[in-house]
A = this chain, B = another copy of it.
């Protein structure tokens, strides 16, 4: 038994103006006398009018929504990114649909479809690590703006915002080497993602620059979760020549590594130095406070939102790649 929706025409009649005038007012046109404006706004309040952006945008063919597809809401890196996107979008009147893939290609497929059917004006995509060729092909044929964030798909040309992972882990690894460590493991993440490859490259580079050799047995993949960190550290801890330090795929993994060490009665930061990646808000609250590489999640989010808006308003503009430079944040875990 919903009441019938109040339309602009109802408002116009109530205020004694034309529908065209009322339409100009809701869109904030300047060339309407203040007096009529007030009169119409008053009618809107009295009738309880709610502007229908969906109808408006359908007619004007301008989008009112964008899609944001991330891998995991529970990962603080992504919740920060989400906030960055939201804040940047807030002022523009755009609203975002959120989708979470949990790194599943099938889910990513479905989310993209659903969002397209809902007429999003564009999509910010943090692609799953093993995005299938079919999905890539499909994305390519999409005639709607798309911005990639965090991870880049090698075969796709489009706007991208990410950080220089290679520089980041290089920074982290160098820091450990300077502290005197020689056996340094690299824990967590999946080798199929570009984000992993780039990080590993930084790790390797740091070794090369010091003339040291990388020991492959110290490189362990895992899921990008706390549990993944626990699992990964176990695999290196019981080798005959265990590492004295570790670079982690991200802070979440680092947290797991700390846990895994404690489970083995070792003290994180003392028995093994640990560097994370992301500088998650809570990294300073870890025990011990975590040395990590800041990846500016919120900034990535707001930059991606900005790129998307620009792309929406001008499809033909030049492609942009924004690569943020990471910073090492030294705390007591190293």
Which residues in B have their C-beta under 8 angstroms from that of A226? Answer: 282, 285
Nearest Cβ on chain B to A251's Cβ, whole angstroms:
13
Complex contact B64–A118 (CB within 8 A): yes
Does A3 interact with chain B (Cβ within 8 Å)? yes
User: Top 8 closest A-B pairs, CB basis?
Assistant: A73-B79, A74-B79, A98-B98, A53-B117, A54-B119, A51-B117, A50-B116, A3-B143
User: In the complex, what residue of chain B is closest to A115 when comparing beta carbons?
Assistant: B95
Binds B, one of A13-21, A80-88, A162-170, A212-220: A80-88
Complex contact B74–A315 (CB within 8 A): no
A-B contact pairs, 12 of them (CB 8 A): A1-B315, A2-B143, A51-B117, A54-B119, A58-B58, A64-B118, A86-B100, A95-B97, A95-B114, A96-B98, A97-B97, A259-B287
| A residues contacting the other copy or chain, number (CB 8 A) | 49
Nearest Cβ on chain B to A113's Cβ, whole angstroms:
8
Does A227 interact with chain B (Cβ within 8 Å)? yes
CA A193 to CA B75, docked complex, whole Å:
27
User: In the complex, what residue of chain B is closest to A74 when comparing beta carbons?
Assistant: B79
Which residues in B have their C-beta under 8 angstroms from that of A285? Answer: 226-227, 230, 255-256, 259
Which residues in B have their C-beta under 8 angstroms from that of A58? Answer: 54-55, 58
Copy total for this chain: 2
Complex contact B65–A73 (CB within 8 A): no
Complex contact A100–B83 (CB within 8 A): yes
Complex contact A118–B141 (CB within 8 A): no
Complex contact A141–B74 (CB within 8 A): no
CA A52 to CA B58, docked complex, whole Å:
10
CA A246 to CA B216, docked complex, whole Å:
46
User: In the complex, what residue of chain B is closest to A281 when comparing beta carbons?
Assistant: B74
User: In the complex, what residue of chain B is closest to A90 when comparing beta carbons?
Assistant: B110
Does A262 interact with chain B (Cβ within 8 Å)? yes
One digit per residue, 1 when the CB lies within 8 angstroms of any chain B CB and 0 when it does not, for chain A 38-61 equals 000000000010111111001000
Nearest Cβ on chain B to A278's Cβ, whole angstroms:
13
Which residues in B have their C-beta under 8 angstroms from that of A86? Answer: 100
Which residues in B have their C-beta under 8 angstroms from that of A114? Answer: 95
Nearest Cβ on chain B to A223's Cβ, whole angstroms:
13
Does A316 interact with chain B (Cβ within 8 Å)? yes
Does A242 interact with chain B (Cβ within 8 Å)? no
Nearest Cβ on chain B to A331's Cβ, whole angstroms:
13
User: In the complex, what residue of chain B is closest to A110 when comparing beta carbons?
Assistant: B90
**Contact (A118, B2) CB under 8 Å given A259-B285, A285-B230, A285-B256:** no
Complex contact A52–B82 (CB within 8 A): no
Which residues in B have their C-beta under 8 angstroms from that of A259? Answer: 285, 287
CA A114 to CA B90, docked complex, whole Å:
10
Which residues in B have their C-beta under 8 angstroms from that of A55? Answer: 58
Nearest Cβ on chain B to A79's Cβ, whole angstroms:
4
Complex contact A2–B73 (CB within 8 A): no
Which residues in B have their C-beta under 8 angstroms from that of A141? Answer: 48
CA A240 to CA B48, docked complex, whole Å:
58
Which residues in B have their C-beta under 8 angstroms from that of A51? Answer: 117
Nearest Cβ on chain B to A171's Cβ, whole angstroms:
26
Which residues in B have their C-beta under 8 angstroms from that of A97? Answer: 95-98
